[in-house]
């Protein structure tokens, strides 16, 4: 199957390009596959305002109730998470405690080092600790994190590698797959492998997208928890995708997290909201180890703080993810 609008988009399983869901601070750029273009790269290309010191990173943890869970020693212990992204800087002092290995499907080797920055940023949101202090950066500091590199240095990758990444995660018995990436249309092979993962008991999380319009794939699939983005005042980010597929929202505006080389930056995007929800699910799993993925998903939705129109709506879904009353 090919599309010819300007330049051809090559065969779906060979060269369909994924785009990372991240918008840099002060940028109005949205993300997603542009019509008629064979690939879309990361909108930021690099961090905006990076520094050697972390800024205040605790407010998102309070917003999702992670601080309450951590105070009860529900820290995501023994929960295995596969981060399907650009890799992770496993030497980063804020992340190396949580790194348990991975694979690089871009270069076909066992070294999933992050040569872009996006994956390291998402990893910090999930499990980062500043100077070893739990509750200082990531939502679930004691998880076992696996870097599954399916996106290259330029911020793009293939569906074929994404499918391989999901299969790798299944083979390594992970509990959660985090996908902060976007595809503009349905791919049956991807849908099938995600259905298989869900049926095996894996929780699937994806960024809703920074389109300002419709939710992108894989977040559109029913088996996947689609996560929108809000700011510190619980307002939906203007470029956060909306629609009936949105399940919950989480902090995704002016987020401080880790970069390769031990540095920090402030970025915005539904990528990072997805990271916080991934961490929140890990907290629920550590608090309720006997509950399956559907049960944990129900706990997430039941605990969400209803915002916007009463009940589930197209902007907030069930509401702001918050695990404080569910741990």
Q: Which of 158, 182, 184, 271 is catalytic?
A: 271
Rounded distance, CA 42 to CA 125, Å? 18
Question: Encoding tokens for residue 111?
Answer: 């070294």
Collect all residues with Cβ–Cβ distance below 8 Å to 209 and sequence separation of at least 6. 21, 30, 31, 32, 182, 215, 216, 219, 240, 241, 270
Asked if 118 is an active-site residue, the reply is: yes
Exactly one of 44, 85, 89, 115 is catalytic; name it: 85
Question: Strands, DSSP E only, in the chain?
Answer: 3-5, 7-9, 17-20, 23-24, 80-85, 99-104, 144-149, 156-158, 176-179, 181-182, 203-207, 224-230, 246-251, 255-259, 263-268
Most distant CA pair in the chain, distance:
56
Token pair in block for residue 27: 């940028």
Token code pair at residue 149: 């590199």
Q: Is 271 a catalytic residue?
A: yes
Residues with Cβ < 8 Å from 173, sequence gap 6 or more? 80
Neighbours of 278 (CB within 10 A): 36
* Residue 109 to residues 105, 146, 153, 166, 303, Cα–Cα distance (Å): 7, 14, 15, 16, 40
130 near 58, Cβ under 8 Å?
no
Say how many CA atoms lie within 13 Å of 209 toward its Cβ. Answer: 25
Closest to 257 (Cα-Cα) out of 120, 146, 113, 132: 120
Marked catalytic residue, from 19, 118, 182, 286: 118
Running DSSP on this structure, what letter comes out for residue 92?
Answer: -
Catalytic machinery residues:
85, 118, 271
């Amino acid at each position: 199957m090919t599309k010819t609008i300007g330049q051809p988009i090559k065969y779906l399983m060979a060269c369909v390009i994924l785009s990372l869901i991240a918008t840099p601070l002060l940028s109005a750029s949205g993300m997603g596959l542009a019509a008629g273009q064979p690939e879309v790269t990361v909108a930021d290309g690099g961090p905006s305002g990076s520094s050697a010191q972390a800024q205040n990173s605790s407010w998102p943890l309070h917003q999702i109730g992670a601080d309450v869970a951590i105070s009860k020693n529900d820290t995501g212990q023994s929960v295995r998470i596969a981060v399907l992204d650009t890799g992770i800087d496993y030497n980063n002092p804020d992340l190396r405690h949580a790194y348990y290995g991975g694979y690089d499907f871009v270069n076909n080797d066992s070294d999933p080092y992050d040569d872009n920055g996006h994956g390291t940023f998402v990893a910090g949101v999930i499990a980062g600790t500043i100077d070893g202090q739990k509750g200082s950066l990531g939502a679930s500091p004691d998880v076992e994190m696996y870097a599954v590199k399916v996106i290259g240095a330029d911020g793009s990758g293939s569906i074929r590698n994404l499918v391989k990444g999901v299969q790798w995660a299944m083979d390594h018995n992970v509990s959660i797959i985090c996908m902060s990436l976007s595809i503009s249309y349905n791919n049956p092979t991807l849908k099938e492998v995600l259905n298989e993962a869900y049926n095996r008991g894996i929780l699937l999380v994806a960024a809703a997208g920074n389109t300002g319009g419709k939710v992108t794939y894989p977040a559109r699939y029913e088996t996947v928890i689609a996560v929108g983005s809000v700011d510190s005042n619980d307002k939906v980010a203007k470029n956060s995708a909306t629609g009936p597929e949105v399940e919950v929202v989480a902090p995704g505006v002016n987020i401080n997290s880790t970069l390769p080389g031990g540095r920090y930056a402030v970025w915005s995007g539904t990528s990072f909201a997805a990271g916080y929800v991934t961490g929140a699910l890990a907290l629920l799993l550590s608090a309720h180890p006997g509950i399956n993925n559907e049960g944990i998903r129900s706990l997430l939705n039941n605990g969400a703080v209803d915002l916007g129109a009463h009940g589930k709506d197209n902007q907030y879904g069930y509401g702001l993810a918050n695990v404080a009353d569910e741990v």
